[in-house]
Amino acid sequence: MADSRHNRADITFGVILIGIGALFLLNTFDIIGYNVWHLLTRSWPLFLILIGLNILVRQTKIWWITPLLLVIVFVGLLFPHPRNIIYWNLVGRPARQVENHTDTLDSQMMFDPQIEIMDINLRVDAGRIDIQHLDEEAGKEGEKLYDLTFEYREEQPDVDYEFDTSEGLGSLSVHQRQRFQLEEIDIINHASLALNDRIPYRLNIESGAGHYELDFSRLQIDDLEINAGVSDLSITFGEYSSEVEISSGASNMNFNIPAGVGFRIDTENVVSNDNFEEMGLKEVDPNTFETEDFSAQERQIHVVLSSPASNINVEVD
Phi, psi for residue 18 in degrees, rounded to 5: -65, -45
- Give me the mean pLDDT over the 178-200 stretch: 69
Tell which residue, 241, 249, 281, has the closest CA to residue 265. 281
Tens-digit pLDDT profile for residues 270-314: 655 556 777 778 888 888 899 888 888 999 999 998 877 667 888
Tell me the pLDDT tens digit for each residue of 63-79.
888 888 888 888 877 76
Beta-carbon contacts of 2 under 8 Å, excluding residues fewer than 6 positions away, are none
Q: In whole angstroms, what is the distance from residue 36 CA to residue 242 CA?
A: 38
Mean per-residue pLDDT over the chain, rounded: 80
Q: E strand or H helix at 259, and its extent?
A: none
Residue 187: is its pLDDT beyond 60?
Answer: no
pTM of the model: 0.67
Coil, strand or helix: which one is 173? strand
- Residue 97 pLDDT: 41
pLDDT value for 197: 93
What is the reported pLDDT for 136? 64
Mean pLDDT of 157-175: 94
CA distance 230 to 250: 5
pLDDT score, position 134: 92
Which residues have C-beta within 8 Å of that of residue 14, sequence separation ≥ 6? Answer: none
Cα distance between the two ends of the chain = 61
Task: Over range 106-131, report the average pLDDT.
Answer: 91
Q: Return the domain boundaries, the chain.
A: 2-77, 99-316
> Rounded distance, CA 234 to CA 269, Å?
20
